[in-house]
Amino acid sequence: MDHKSNVRVSKLMSLGLRHEPSALGLKLDDAGWVTLDALRAGLRARGEDVSHEDVLEIVRTSDKQRFALSPDTLRIRANQGHSVDVELGLEPKEPPAELLHGTSEAVLPAIRRDGLSRMARTHVHLSADEKTANIVAKRRAGPTVLLRVDAAAMHRDGHAFFCSENGVWLTLAVPPRYLRFPDGQ
């Protein structure tokens, strides 16, 4: 498969494994897993005839590492980012002292007022490094900013953090008092 096809199929996989399983005719188990055969059948129904090896290649080469495979490579799920109810089985973990969140300048007034909320997703996504946070921010329209999260203080105050298999930090919300905004914004 060429790069353009990989991107198209990866987006369909994200749709089915994170947001709308019915779009690919999938039924995720409680932990978000589905067989690769079921995923391939759903993709085929949407005009994407991919082999087992094609799916493995998409998972392996994904820059964001959105997907996880079972050890036998017969099942697949999204690592995080779900807007459907799944239990990923992640254990609470002590976060680094500071985490980052890349976002659009346009939403700063709401974030200053309300903090970061999970919106339609199961968690707020945070990054451990600026490079990753900047990649996330660039997916937003317009000028972007990086917000710094005092994760150590949040953790001390009883907020739970989880780290997905691909290194994305997750929490239920980030109240405004734990956020540091760029100067002048």
pLDDT, tens digit (0-9, with 9 covering 90-100), for 56-72: 999 988 777 789 899 99
pLDDT at 184 over 60: no
Work out the end-to-end distance of the chain between its first and last CA atoms, rounded to an integer number of angstroms: 44
pLDDT over 70 percentage in the chain: 97
pLDDT digits (tens, 9 = 90+) for 117-175: 988 777 898 999 888 887 777 776 678 889 999 999 999 999 999 998 878 899 999 99
Q: Which domains does the chain have, with CATH numbers?
A: 3-78 (1.10.10.970), 98-180 (3.20.170.30)
Residue pointed to by tokens 């995080």: 80
Q: What is the pLDDT averaged over residues 111-120?
A: 90
What pLDDT, on a 0 to 100 scale, did the predictor assign at position 88? 78
CA distances from 63 to 59, 109, 127 (A): 9, 31, 14
Angle at 128 between CA 61 and CA 18, to 5 degrees: 50
Q: How far apart are CA 68 and CA 59, in angstroms?
A: 7
pLDDT over 90 percentage in the chain: 58
Helices 3-14 and 36-45 pack at an angle, to 10 degrees, of 110
Residue pointed to by tokens 């002292």: 97
More confident residue, 54 or 122: 54
Q: What is the pLDDT averaged over residues 24-49?
A: 94
Q: What is the pLDDT averaged over residues 176-184?
A: 86
CA distances from 173 to 35, 73, 158, 176 (A): 32, 33, 12, 10
